[in-house]
Structure 1
Amino acid sequence: MPSIKGFISGLREDASTHSHGSDEPLTGKQPQTIESTVEESSLKSESTVDAKNPFLDPIVAKYYRDTYEKSKYECRERFDPEFTWTEKEEKKIVWRLEWRVTFLACFMFVALQTDRGNLSQAVADNMLEDLGMTTNQYNTGNTIFYLCFLCAELPSQLVSKKLGPDVWIPTQMMLWSVVAMSQAALKGNQGFYATRALLGLLEGGFIPDLVLWMSYFYTGSELSVRLSFFWTTLSLTTIITSLLAAGLLKMRGVAGWAGWQWLFLIEGIYTFLIGLASAFLMVPSVVQTKKPWNKKGWFTYHEEKILVNRVLRDDPTKGDMHNRQAITPYMLFQAICDYDLWPVYFIGLIAYIPTGTLTAYLTLCLKSLNFTTFQVNLLAIPYNVIHIVLLLGITWFSERFNERSFVCLFQPFWTIPLLAILRFWPGSMVNKWGTWVVATLMLGNPYIHAICVSWCSRNSRSIKNRTVSASLYNMFVQAGSIIASNIYRTKDKPLYHQGNSVLLGIACALIPVLLLTKVYYVWRNKSKAKKWDAMSIEQREEYLATTTDQGTKRLDFRFVH
């Protein structure tokens, strides 16, 4: 955690200067003792994990121990500033987390992507013609969905924080799966609008809810990589459901139903079963894994201490609220007003509009180029394979070099040339396979969503801010999806040159937004460091003990960028 490490580093530098210029004793535990403690503990085992422990300073340890007690943090009894463990032990337990938490989160994400992504597959089976709808009405339905999704983000997150993600997330999934199944009975555009609205309201908040739950188990750098696995599931699900759709849509005529009706019904049942299973598989926290059907729980007492202390040493603020504590209106207001996170929100607003527009229209465009329904669904697979490779690669690269703003530039640099081809490609030169190749490369772009979600989480500095910022970021993303749903218009068919001009401009605008975000966070860190460095060691200790600054406004906190 940059703030605590900076604090200890500052103590050491001041202590070194002090020891050469004065015999006056330091307040609290001296920095020399901190270093000797680290050295002594490292002798216990060659691989003992202790060197990055911010709680070796007693002032820091006391401050956060009091904070955890005050908040009734559910893992506070496992907090131990002097506890040590080996790297081998940690790796073994983290590997178990991959199955218990990451794999489960990905499994649940399958339910979301199946029910919100199968509409593009359904329209390949002449769904719009069957319902007597135009592409503009299709746009309206998508707009309604994203608007309701956006409106539900924050309320869902607040409900989840009060009830716990382990209770609310399975409930969400089972409720929306019932609505997803009911789409099989659609008769016209009114029913289409109604089901789109209900799905948006019930699915909204699912992603930030799940991200918050995962943050309880992982460190900041680990979360970024796990989120890349999380969004890899999106592409894998699209591949699998495309294969399923290729078969299910052939059921047109069975029992007098269209193929798209069978698609909605069968996949809705599937997602309901995932929601039901998740109700038994999710747990509230590391120390609350015992259930009537699993009396031993996931971990031993020793393993729980490792998991709790490794997360707290990475980010001590993860214990400033307990996992059933509701966000008060004042907390909500404070978090919304935290302007330091707004640059990342704005990135989320515009970053995914170009690909979001093309994704919604891919099957319709390919169908208009005389590909068959079967071919259309199979041709949606390659871009997802490219998407997986680039998503994992760019997220790993970002964490490997601890860089976000510059790494995110890969996305616009990738999409701008491809959008230029779509915009300026003369109609006489367009052929269906050439269009498919360009669209495939475009949609397989280096996806920066996992980087941005983790970026928001790490710059939030508290559970309160992390809870709200996850929803606000996703709300801006959904606002971008609303824009994306209305760029391609019926009068612009079939090449959508006007729409592609807009998408090209938005893709170009992302470059200065990312660069300005970098400049802003560098400036904020330098401004804080200037004030912090001007303080004496006594002033810093007094500041930590008495400051009313909260979250990102604290002088000992540094933003990642």
Structure 2
Amino acid sequence: MEESPQDEKLEGKSSPAAFSETENPSEVKKILFKTDIRVLPILALLFLCSFLDRTNVGNAKIVGLESDTGITDHQYDIGLTVFYLFYVCSELPSNLVLKKASPRIWLPFLAITWGIITMCLGFIRGFGSFVAVRALLGMAEGGLLPGMVLYLSSFYKRSDLALRIGLFYTAASLSGAFGGLLARGLIEIGPRGGLKGWRWIFIIEGLLTVVCGIIAAIGLPNNLATARFLTPIEREIALERIRQDRPQHNGSE
């Protein structure tokens, strides 16, 4: 039985010069669509959680955080500054770990960690604990965005990344849109269990982040070479696109 021209084309894809996007546009679109559907919603969800958990302190301040803990406006501002200081300092070390560890483990681990830390904000008693927990939160969240960019670079060509990364900032905008409404609803929980309403903002939103981290650990593929949502031929084509985009890339990551 003779092979069709398309079969011959796909079987010859192992050569860096064999595959051409201009000759296979429908195949490329199909692969990108599958990858987008599987990877982007999970990462956008994590990014949304990160913005909710770093900004919910503003909602808590409005409804009693400072008065209940004795924190002054100046001390509150210090807590905000400390968060971003540790956020920036943790970006590079986190990416170094990501290069050695499995992405489907490290990124969800970060989310689960900062989710637990966010819950701890619901139990602070004063300035010292507030600053300490905010520092830990910044350290945990700092690795997410650079980690996601590094992770996506193993799935997409450089020309594909700008649009995908832009989607994350759309998720961040959504956090501002309904973050306040969510906080308003959570405030109504308290006082309950000896905890006032503002404390429940941190506890519930942190718990939601932990759940999202678990979902990410289950749903995120580790890399293209092991992506089960693609067929073997689609995986090879996707890897070839990366090799052609970055000749020094070995396609195994």
Larger RCO, structures 1/2 (Cα 8 Å, 6+ apart): 2
Matches within 5 A, 1:419-438: none
What displacement does 1:142 show?
1.1
- Out of 182, 186, 194, which is 2:132 matched to? 194
Q: What residue in structure 1 maps to residue 80 of structure 2?
A: 142
Q: Take 2:106 and 2:98, find their aligned partners in 1: how far apart are those partners?
A: 5
TM alignment of 1:158-197, pairs within 5 A: 158-197=96-135
Q: Is 2:145 the partner of 1:207?
A: yes
Residue of structure 2 aligned with 1:261, choices 190, 199, 223: 199
Measured against aligned partners, the alpha-carbon deviations of 1:329-359 in whole angstroms (never above 9, x if no partner) come to xxxxxxxxxxxxxxxxxxxxxxxxxxxxxxx
From 238, 241, 253, give the equivalent of 2:176.
238
Matches within 5 A, 1:242-321: 242-289=180-227, 297-319=228-250
Task: Give how far 1:318 is off.
Answer: 3.5
- Name the aligned partner's letter for residue 172 of structure 1: L
Query: Take 1:300 and 1:108, find their aligned partners in 2: how far apart are those partners?
Result: 27
Amino acid at match of 2:116: V
Q: Is the Cα contact below 8 Å between 1:79 and 1:308 reproduced in 2?
A: no
Tell me which amino acid in the other structure corresponds to 2:217.
Answer: A
What is the RMSD computed on CA atoms of the aligned residues? 2.2
Residue 228 in 1 paired to residue 159 in 2? no
Q: Give structure 1 stretches of 5+ with no counterpart.
A: 1-43, 50-76, 290-296, 324-561
Q: Distance in 1 between matches of 2:61 and 2:218?
A: 35
Higher radius of gyration, 1 or 2: 1
* Distance (whole Å) between structure 1 residues aligned to residue 211 and residue 25 of structure 2: 38
Distance 1:146 1:89 in 2: 43
Aligned 8 A contact 2:155 2:238 in 1: yes
Cα 1:83–1:124 shift into 2, 3 Å: same
SS in 2 for 1:83: coil
1:91 aligns with 2:29: yes
Contact 2:157 2:245 in 1 (8 A): yes
3-state SS of 1:271 partner: helix
What amino acid does structure 1 have at the position aligned with 2:138? G
1:111 positional shift:
2.4
* Alignment CA distance shift 1:319-1:240 (3 Å): farther
User: How far off its partner does 1:271 sit?
Assistant: 0.4
1:81 alignment partner in structure 2: 17
- 2:69 maps to amino acid: L
Contact 1:216 1:318 (8 Å CA) reproduced: no
Query: Which deviations, in whole Å up to 9, do the C-alpha atoms of 1:71-115 show, x marking residues without a partner?
Result: xxxxxx956421355211111121111111222211221221221
Give the counterpart letter for 1:315 in structure 2: R
2:59 to 87, 111, 121: 121
The residue number in structure 2 matching 1:434 is none
Map 1:387-536 to 2 at 5 A. none
Count residues in correspondence.
Answer: 243
Matched, 1:151 2:82: no
Matches within 5 A, 1:32-51: none
Cα offsets for 1:178-226 (capped at 9, x unmatched): 1111111111111101101111122221110111101111122210011
CA contact (8 A) 2:71 2:127 kept: yes
**1:264 and 1:109 mapped to 2: Cα distance?**
17
Q: TM-score, normalised by structure 2?
A: 0.88
Instruction: Call closer, same or farther: CA 1:233–1:79 in 2, change over 3 Å.
Output: farther
> How far apart, CA to CA, are the structure 2 residues paired with 1:174 and 1:310?
33
CA-CA distance at 1:228 after TM superposition: 0.6
How many angstroms does 1:246 deviate by?
1.6
Q: TM-score, length-normalised on structure 1? A: 0.41
Q: Tell me the equivalent position of 1:110.
A: 48
Check whether the contact 2:110–2:143 (CA below 8 A) recurs between aligned residues: no
| Equivalent residues of 2:16, 2:243 under 8 A apart | no
Partners of 1:288 and 1:195 lie apart in 2 by 37
Task: Classify the secondary structure of the residue corresponding to 1:319.
Answer: coil
Q: How has the CA–CA distance of structure 1 residues 133 and 247 changed in structure 2, closer, same or farther, with 3 Å as cutoff?
A: same
* Cα distance in structure 2, aligned partners of 1:317 and 1:103: 29
